[in-house]
Amino acid sequence: MKAGSTVRLPPGFRSKFLDALTPTEIKTVLAAAREEPISRRQVLQRQGELAHRLCLPLTGLVAAYRLVDEGSKLFLRWGLPGDLFGLSALLAEPSTYLVTVEAVHQGALLTWDLAASRMLIGQFPNMLRAVNSLAASYMDDFIDVLAVRVSLTAPQRLARMLVKSARQIGRVGDDGIKLDLTNEQLAFIAQVSPFTASRQLNQWQVRGIVRKNRGTILLRSLPRLEEIAKVGSYRP
Amino acid sequence: MKAGSTVRLPPGFRSKFLDALTPTEIKTVLAAAREEPISRRQVLQRQGELAHRLCLPLTGLVAAYRLVDEGSKLFLRWGLPGDLFGLSALLAEPSTYLVTVEAVHQGALLTWDLAASRMLIGQFPNMLRAVNSLAASYMDDFIDVLAVRVSLTAPQRLARMLVKSARQIGRVGDDGIKLDLTNEQLAFIAQVSPFTASRQLNQWQVRGIVRKNRGTILLRSLPRLEEIAKVGSYRP
DNA sequence: CGCAAAGTTGATCATAGTCAAGTTCTGTGG
DNA sequence: CCACAGAACTTGACTATGATCAACTTTGCG
């Protein structure tokens, strides 16, 4: 697709970013965008790379993480459709991406290159305000990830990420909320070893709180998970 | 002191924030500031409180941390003279402080209330750019705190914080770099128990890397600490 | 001199990571 | 339709780390 072509927003699409703009602004902003497909595991921006574009996923799921000492990945947050990222591209001086963003599922993406995003940000003070507010909420999120990691036990982190992911990427079924996550992915986002994740999920399955299938987790009782995530350690 | 009175910047004062402004802008910005003293342990902003002012320490030392589950504090970064904080006050919608900031040493502070900071930010696009760039570097810092906490051992974190603090608050002496930190404070910023900090410092003292006095730590060999902070775990 | 803050030391313990050696699942090609 | 490769997951044994607690000593200040 090329800039200027009509961008069709997917049905049910909501974006905190676009919501902060007026209809006229939205029209201009969308007109300046370029749409492109994203495939699974595709890296959309790499931490440390020169920030060269602003991105807005339309469909699919991406993950933002930081690489630590060549190898291990540190999950920071999901990027859902409507979540603007690559904000570093909007800074005055050329700067680098703070985190790596990688597609977890395939989907589609709107992008604005440096010229376009600079132009828009200069033209619409509204957009600048929206972006600053977004940046603040991301910062809050990141600090929270740290707080969670430091102050919660492994089972609590798992429960918490299940609850959080349920809200973000859960599909409501008749017998609970279904998450398309492998043990390994859950372990990754909860900052736990895959073995710990496996053991804990089994225990919860025995207790009837979740049900497991290869690649998916069915949450049968959100309240009980929320309870575990909140207070004192889990009791075996 | 009241707004409009002449603000005297302390000798040797440097500020990334002010450096990004033109002399004329600096003049206007300083004229709109209010100066006030800060005493030890004074809380300058509280996480969750409605952001009502922007702050710039002139002298002294402050610490930014987050409170987790009523009680424990999670250190995020030092605030040195020249470090602007309370950026939440600049957001378009009323919003709350993301972190708590508390004075570690006494000193003095410039503040701008909501009206003043809104006025300045509207008047000087330059200031907005500077603030965004600051926000980005804070965000980077915070993510880094997380990465460090997750991927380094306790002795590595201690070594790292000693090195980092040396650069920020160290006083160069003839026999090394002196830090005014109690064991407890070091433990706090390195996210380690005071006992672990004590034990580790003793070990390093025996090895001649540091020397301890009540309330101060003398770093005798920065390179060796940097080495410890970097690669594999410590060897006893 | 006395008292509180700062620091020490040893014993103990819970957490959760690591590793090895499995089992189960699922999609693919013969 | 079945076999099979490889991914996903399990399970148990082991272990390092570092927190916690209690009891103690040292330091510096008024």
List the pLDDT tens digit at each of the 236 positions of chain A.
444 467 889 998 999 999 999 999 999 999 999 999 998 889 999 999 999 999 999 999 999 999 988 778 999 999 999 999 999 999 999 999 999 999 998 899 999 999 999 999 999 999 999 999 999 999 999 999 999 999 999 999 999 999 999 999 999 988 899 999 999 999 999 999 999 999 999 999 999 999 999 999 999 989 999 999 986 544 44
**Cα–Cα distance, A202 to B10 (Å, whole number):** 62
Tell me what the pLDDT averaged over chain B comes to: 92
**Cα–Cα distance, A139 to A124 (Å, whole number):** 23
Residue A7 is predicted with a pLDDT of: 83
Residue B147 is predicted with a pLDDT of: 95
Residue A235 is predicted with a pLDDT of: 45
Cβ(B225)–Cβ(B209) under 8 Å? yes
**B187 CA – D20 C1', rounded, Å:** 15
| Whole-Å CA distances, B171 to A162, B105, B107, B176 | 48, 15, 17, 9
Give residue B2's pLDDT band: very low, low, confident or very high (50, 70, 90): very low
Which nt is closest to the CA of A152, judged by C1'?
Answer: C15
Which residues of A touch chain B, with CB atoms under 8 Å apart? Answer: 66, 68-69, 72, 74, 76, 87-88, 90-93, 95, 98-99, 128-129, 132-133, 135-136, 138-140, 142-143, 145-147, 149-151, 191
Residue B154 is predicted with a pLDDT of: 96
- Average pLDDT rounded to a whole number, residues B60-81: 91
pTM: 0.93
The answer to whether B144 CB is within 7 Å of strand C is: no
Angle at B19 between CA B14 and CA B22, to 5 degrees: 140
Residue A140 is predicted with a pLDDT of: 97
Residue B110 is predicted with a pLDDT of: 96
Question: For A15, which DSSP code?
Answer: -
Residues linked to residue B102 through DSSP beta bridges, in sequence order: B43, B63
Tokens of B75: 């250190």
Q: Is the C-alpha dihedral spanning B24, B131, A49, A81 positive or negative?
A: negative
Residue B8 is predicted with a pLDDT of: 85
The three state secondary structure string of B214-234 is: CCEEEECCHHHHHHHHHCCCC
Residues linked to residue B112 through DSSP beta bridges, in sequence order: B54
Q: Percent of chain B, pLDDT > 90?
A: 85
Whether the predicted pLDDT of B150 surpasses 90: yes
Residue B234 is predicted with a pLDDT of: 46
Whether the predicted pLDDT of B231 surpasses 70: no
Of A66, A133, A140, the CB nearest to B92: A133
Residue A72 is predicted with a pLDDT of: 86
Query: Is B124 in a helix, a strand, or coil?
Result: coil
Q: Answer whether B74 sits within 8 Å of A150, measured CB to CB.
A: yes
Q: Per residue in B165-182, pLDDT tens?
A: 999 999 998 889 999 999
Residue B3 is predicted with a pLDDT of: 47
Q: Per residue in B21-64, pLDDT tens?
A: 999 999 999 999 999 999 888 999 999 999 999 999 999 999 99
**Cα–Cα distance, B97 to B93 (Å, whole number):** 13
Cβ(B99)–Cβ(A146) under 8 Å? no
Q: Answer whether A151 sits within 8 Å of B91, measured CB to CB.
A: no
Angle at A97 between CA A94 and CA A98, to 5 degrees: 125
The answer to whether B216 CB is within 7 Å of strand D is: no
Residue B167 is predicted with a pLDDT of: 93
**Cα–Cα distance, B82 to B60 (Å, whole number):** 10
Q: Where are the beta strands (DSSP E) in chain B?
A: 34-38, 43-45, 53-68, 72-79, 100-113, 171-173, 176-179, 210-213, 216-219
Q: What are all long-range contacts of B222-229, with beta carbons under 8 Å and residues at least 24 apart? A: B222/B163, B222/B166, B222/B177, B225/B159, B225/B162, B225/B163, B226/B159, B226/B163, B228/B155, B228/B156, B228/B159, B229/B152, B229/B156, B229/B159, B229/B160, B229/B163
Q: Answer whether B99 sits within 8 Å of A143, measured CB to CB.
A: yes
Give residue B5's pLDDT band: very low, low, confident or very high (50, 70, 90): low
Please identify residues in chain B, positions 61-120, with a C-beta within 7 angstroms of any atom of strand C: none
Please identify residues in chain A, positions 102-131, with a C-beta within 7 angstroms of any atom of strand D: none
